[in-house]
Amino acid sequence: MNLIERLKAAKHLVVFTGAGMSAESGVPTFRDAQTGLWAQFRPEDLATPQAFAAHPSRVWDWYAWRRGLVQKAAPHEGHIALAELEMKIPKMTLITQNVDGLHHRAGSRTVIELHGNITRIRCSECGEPCEEFPDHSPPPCPLCGAYLRPDVVWFGESLPREALEASFRVCETADVFLSIGTSTLVQPAAMLPFKARELGAFTVEINPEPTPFSASAHLVLREPARLALPRLLLEAFGQPA
Ligand code: BV8
């Protein structure tokens, strides 16, 4: 069966997305060169507890800048096509490494955020979520006075256990697994496409560039997500995104 026939027959579709899914919404990927004030830093060197401890204001300001980009960004036709697919297929699980919340804004309902969400703020000590905070860099927790931080998973921090366990569990029943817009480099999330393939899912990579998963995927669509996903929706279910 080809991909379109498999999507039509699928009982459980699992979709795994990375920063490339948001690139066409104007949210730079981790591999994209940083611009302006941030050009001198590598994301991997800012997205760590060590960087926040050493330079709290720099890290807070970097996230504030990224939150601004995310708030200005809008989901594109690829995000919307995924939300539409969820209505067409008996069960769909969307696992994202992205922290921008664009899948929720596009209407996807079953979303697992493996690396947190940049628009959520919490205390770096007591963990208390916080929505209103003074314009300090970084602001103090209203409860305990420690620095507030973005509710994302930094390099060297563990992923939320339930989210990670759920992500591996859904690979067990996936008929089709789409790996979209990820360099498949960041662990342990990058194990998921391989796990899905090992457990029998028909695996598809959608990415203009090759990745470490390309050789293992059953099918590779070397194209951007914004183009590929609406086409898959149309060919499988006769509906534009
Ligand atoms: C952890 C939130 C346990 C923050 C992010 C083995 C096992 C476990 C850990 C490790 C391991 N090996 C190494 C590690 C450590 C580390 C790691 O993986 N390092 C890498 C760099 C080698 N992992 C961790 O630290 C993880 N923690 O394992 O805890 C532990 C505990 C204590 C001590 C040790 C271990 C935590 C990882 C989470 C980090 N946080 N995000 C923030 O956003 O600021 S990860 C970050 O990278 C983003 O979430 C991003 O989504 C993610 C992955 O990158 P991609 O999504 O793939 O994006 P990228 O830019 O890389 O690529 C974009 C792709 O899109 C490209 O392929 C491009 O071609 C494609 N593309 C571009 N345009 C399009 C497109 N595709 C389609 N359409 C387009 N238009």
Phi-psi bin for 133: left (phi > 0), alpha (psi -120 to 50), beta? Answer: beta
- Structure pTM? 0.96
- CATH number belonging to domain 1-26+75-115+159-241: 3.40.50.1220
Query: Which residue lies with its CA nearest to atom 73 of ligand 1?
Result: 20
Q: Which CATH class is domain 28-72+117-152?
A: alpha beta
Whether residue 99 has its Cβ less than 6 Å from ligand 1: yes
H helices present in the chain, as ranges: 3-9, 20-23, 43-46, 49-54, 56-72, 77-88, 102-106, 161-171, 191-198, 225-237
Q: What is d(CA 108, CA 71) in angstroms, rounded to the nearest whole number?
A: 18
Give the tens place of pLDDT for each residue, 59-83. 999 999 999 999 999 999 999 999 9
- Encode pLDDT of 198-211 as tens digits: 999 999 999 999 99
- Ligand 1 atom showing the smallest separation from residue 78 Cα: 78
Distance CA 219, CA 224 (A): 15
Indicate which residues carry an active-site annotation: 115
The pLDDT tens digits for 123-174 are 999 999 999 998 999 999 999 999 999 999 999 999 999 999 999 999 999 9
Establish how many alpha carbons lie within 13 A of residue 120's alpha carbon, considering only the half-sphere containing its beta carbon.
14
Residue 47 has a pLDDT of: 95
Name which residue sits closest to atom 74 of ligand 1, judged by CA. Answer: 20
Tell me whether strands 91-96 and 111-113 are parallel, antiparallel or unpaired: parallel
Residue 54 confidence (pLDDT) above 80? yes
Residue recorded with tokens 């939300």: 83
User: Domain spans of the chain?
Assistant: 1-26+75-115+159-241, 28-72+117-152
Torsion of CA 45, 46, 49, 52, to 10 degrees: 130
What is the predicted pLDDT for the residue at 39? 82
Q: Which residue has the higher pLDDT, 91 or 38?
A: 91
Q: Residues 102, 113: contact at Cβ < 8 Å? A: no
